[in-house]
Amino acid sequence: MSARDTLLASIRRSLGVSGDEAPRRRVVADRLATHPVGVVPARGQVAPFERVALFIKMMEFASGTVDLVSEADEVPSAVADFLRRHNLPMQVRRGEDRRLAELPWQREATLEVTTGVSDGAQLASVSHAFGAVAETGTMVLTSGADNPTTLNFLPDNHVVVVDAKDISGDYETVWARLRNKYGVGIMPRTVNLITGPSRSADIEQTLILGAHGPRRLHVIVVGEP
């Protein structure tokens, strides 16, 4: 017997089942197909503008910072402002996301924008989020050439752009959108749920921001919900 069969057999022996029982198989198939929604906190179930306000409140609670811009064209200057505010070099790295590529970066003459992954040498990166969750102030980023995963973790400063209309009240809305975009049961290689900048409390439970990931997480919310 293979290791797989041995393991399944010992689970079945303990549960007193054969694995062939039709009702059991139906219960499992149904749950996977219908993925019923459980207890969803009322906190995030609010009108669109309140939802954005809740997102900002929760992101700041998690030590992230948030800027609002009324249209995408203002993103480059918001990025430049962020860099200046923290005395950082005027350089950012981004992925190939079209929504980022189409921005008028040239308006910020001193800002140098490069594209690609991070190899650890970059101090700041810009990603475009798939969405965000107001309930806990959480960003949702998906992997790929558009927004490489290394940009989320290696640079010290991570700027994330999100469309206000993509901020949902709960995680469940995000899963529905992922199924819609990638197909049922299919996921991108990595989905990163990010709630604030990296931190550690491993030394005498003193909370310190900036462990292995970014020391700063700055979110730019674009447009109206």
Partner 1 sequence: MSHVATSPRFKDNARAALADADLQASLKFVEVNFIARRREAADRLPEFEALRDAARDIKDHTLAHLDLYLEAYEARVTASGGQVHYAATAEDARQIVLQICRRLGARTVTKGKSMIGEELAINDFLEANDIRPIETDLGEYIIQLRGEIPSHIIAPAVHLTKAQIEADFRRVHTHLPADRNLVEPTTLLAEARGVLREKFLAADVGITGANFLVAETGTSIIVTNEGNGDLTQTLPKAHIVLASIEKMVPTLEDVSTLLRVLARSATGQEMSVYTTLSTGPRRADDPDGPGEYHVVILDNGRSAMLGGSFQEMLRCIRCGACMNHCPVYHAVGGHAYGWVYPGPMGAVLTPSLIGVDKAGHLPNASTFCGRCEEVCPVRIPLPRMMRSWREREFERHLSPATVRSGLAFWALFARRPRLYGWATGIAARMLALFGRAKGRFGWLPLASGWTRYRDFPSPQGATFQQQWRTRRKRSSDR
Residues in 65-94 at the binding interface with partner 1, rule: CB under 8 A: none
Contacting partner 1 (CB under 8 A), which of 77, 86, 90, 116? Answer: 116
Q: Is 45 in the site for partner 1 (CB under 8 A)?
A: no
- Residue 218: count other Cβ atoms within 10 Å of its Cβ: 25
Across the beta sheet with 157-163, what order do the strands follow? 65-69, 216-222, 157-163, 124-128, 91-94, 112-115
Q: Is 148 in the site for partner 1 (CB under 8 A)?
A: yes
Contacting partner 1 (CB under 8 A), which of 122, 125, 127, 149? Answer: 149
> Which residues fall within 8 angstroms of residue 167, CB to CB, at 6 or more apart?
51, 52, 55, 131, 132, 133, 134, 221, 225
How many residues contact partner 1, by CB under 8 A?
83
Contacting partner 1 (CB under 8 A), which of 68, 101, 123, 195? Answer: 195
How many whole angstroms separate alpha carbon 212 and alpha carbon 154?
8
Q: Is 57 in the site for partner 1 (CB under 8 A)?
A: no
Stretch that binds partner 1, among 57-65, 76-84, 101-109, 160-168 (CB under 8 A): 57-65
Find the angle CA(145)-CA(106)-CA(152) to the nearest 5 degrees.
Answer: 30
Q: Is 152 in the site for partner 1 (CB under 8 A)?
A: yes
Q: Is 2 in the site for partner 1 (CB under 8 A)?
A: yes
SS3 113: strand
How many whole angstroms separate alpha carbon 142 and alpha carbon 225?
21
Stretch that binds partner 1, among 71-79, 101-109, 123-131, 147-155 (CB under 8 A): 147-155
Q: Is 23 in the site for partner 1 (CB under 8 A)?
A: no
